Amino acid sequence: MTKKLPRNVLALGIVSLATDASSDMIIPLLPMFLASLGSTPAGIGLVEGAAEATAALLKLVSGRLADRARHKKPLVIAGYGLSSLVRPLVGLATAVWMVLAVRVVDRIGKGVRSSPRDALLADGTPPELRGRAFGFHRAMDNAGAVVGPALAFVLLGPLALPLTTVFLLAAIPGAIAMLALIFGVRESDPAPAPAPAPAPEGNRAGPNPALRTYLGALALFALGNASDAFLLLRAQQLGVPRAAIPVLWMLHNAIKALFSTWGGALSDRLGRKRLVVVGWAVYALTYVGFGEATDPWQVWSLFVVYGFYYALVEGTEKALVADLSPAGRRGGAFGAYHAVVGVAALPASFGFGWLATAYGPRVPFLVAAGLAAGASVLLAVAVPEPSRR
């Protein structure tokens, strides 16, 4: 009989769905809004780059704070609360610097909450259910990425509301997220976890060597994991109509939402490392496909496969972090995980763009595929499969 997911997993899933719905009522429309305020493409890149860099660094700090704090929930509430409060204020902005300020503060909230939330989720979930728990959380997050744009479409289209009014209405799902977090999440003692492997003499205070190696493999993979905006640009280059791009993106997120719980649960049965290795290999093959594609129908098929890659690894990668970390240090471990992914995002996207400019669209996809394949091999041979009992 399949065990039920813990209460906190379900509650945090609702929080994530509502938060992402609120965020994705705004994010897809933000470039258009910034352009209306007179921003250049470089200015739009500055806004998003500064916001994401801020979040990546704060995730590392907040994870360490969570390990030292007696309770993690106050940090999670503070992070979600800050984002929910400031995010709709984009609707009141009249200049680019105001949008930049709102986005940075919003991402500060994300940086504060992400690592403590992941540690809280891991602590309250038995090891044999962690894959399904993290997969479910990512599924709800991705469902919000479908609901948010759909709400924005209805508000802008049939209801014909102004863009700024849509931004302000994003406060409603943000408020729902806060209610679910405050009243639905209960902080409990960590679930029993397997003891980490003994550390070598003189390094007993250091992180698990297997976790360090895993993060090294993740860094190599992340250097080839450029912004998904390049995939949407590739879709347009191959003939997908501009009007169909939002539909293509919603299809991609729908695949992630439908199959992420299944992917995480699969890691509970087959092993985390094995599934991440397979997922990164699927990523490499998908990027080869984007580089070699010549027709629009191939792009639609590749976006479906790309959604399955996310379903396999999004929850599983985090569950592997939890399995390789002792309970009292999971906040720092998740902070390091988020920091590696966030810090690598800038050189990954810059390098991809430079290669595309210098050598055309095919080369950067093949280089990214090669980095992913190398990371998959490194993970397969250098990181042991952790016990989940």
pLDDT value of residue 302: 96
Query: How many CB atoms are closer than 10 A to CB 13?
Result: 24
Distance CA 3, CA 373 (A): 35
Supply 5's token pair: 């997911």
pLDDT value of residue 21: 93
How would you label 101-126 residue by residue, b for 16+ Cβ within 10 Å and e otherwise?
A: bbbbbbbbbbbbbbbbbbbbbbbbbe
Pair 16, 120: CB distance under 8 Å:
no
For the stretch 46-102, pLDDT in tens is 565 566 667 777 888 888 888 888 788 999 999 999 999 999 999 999 988 898 888
Supply 201's token pair: 């003499």
pLDDT value of residue 199: 42
Supply 318's token pair: 């985090």
pLDDT value of residue 344: 84
Supply 153's token pair: 């479409």
Residue 202, φ and ψ in degrees, nearest 5: 85, -5
pLDDT value of residue 47: 60
pLDDT tops 70 at residue 206: no
Q: Work out the mean pLDDT of the chain and round it to a whole number.
A: 86
Largest CA distance in the chain: 67
pLDDT band at 306 (very low <50, low <70, confident <90, very high): very high
For the stretch 111-162, pLDDT in tens is 899 889 998 998 888 888 999 999 999 999 999 988 988 898 889 888 889 9
CA nearest 147: which of 299, 33, 24?
24
Pair 191, 125: CB distance under 8 Å:
yes
pLDDT value of residue 44: 56
CA 169 to chain centre: 24
Q: Give residues with Cβ within 8 angstroms of 223, minimum separation 6.
A: 344, 347, 348, 351, 371
pLDDT value of residue 292: 95
Residue 15's Cβ-count burial label (10 Å; 0-12, 13-18, 19+) is buried
Segment among 21-35, 190-204, 348-362 with least mean pLDDT: 190-204
Q: Give residues with Cβ within 8 angstroms of 202, minimum separation 6.
A: none
In terms of average pLDDT, the best of 78-92, 98-112, 196-210 is 78-92
pLDDT band at 200 (very low <50, low <70, confident <90, very high): very low
Residue 228's Cβ-count burial label (10 Å; 0-12, 13-18, 19+) is middle
Q: What's this model's pTM, rounded to 2 decimal places?
A: 0.81
pLDDT band at 202 (very low <50, low <70, confident <90, very high): very low
Q: What percent of the chain has pLDDT over 90?
A: 49
Distance CA 149, CA 255 (A): 15
pLDDT band at 42 (very low <50, low <70, confident <90, very high): low
How would you label 301-322 residue by residue, b for 16+ Cβ within 10 Å and e otherwise?
A: ebbeebbbbbbbbbbbbbbbbb
Superfamily of domain 7-187+208-382: MFS general substrate transporter like domains (1.20.1250.20)
Pair 123, 327: CB distance under 8 Å:
yes
Distance CA 90, CA 101 (A): 9
pLDDT value of residue 191: 45
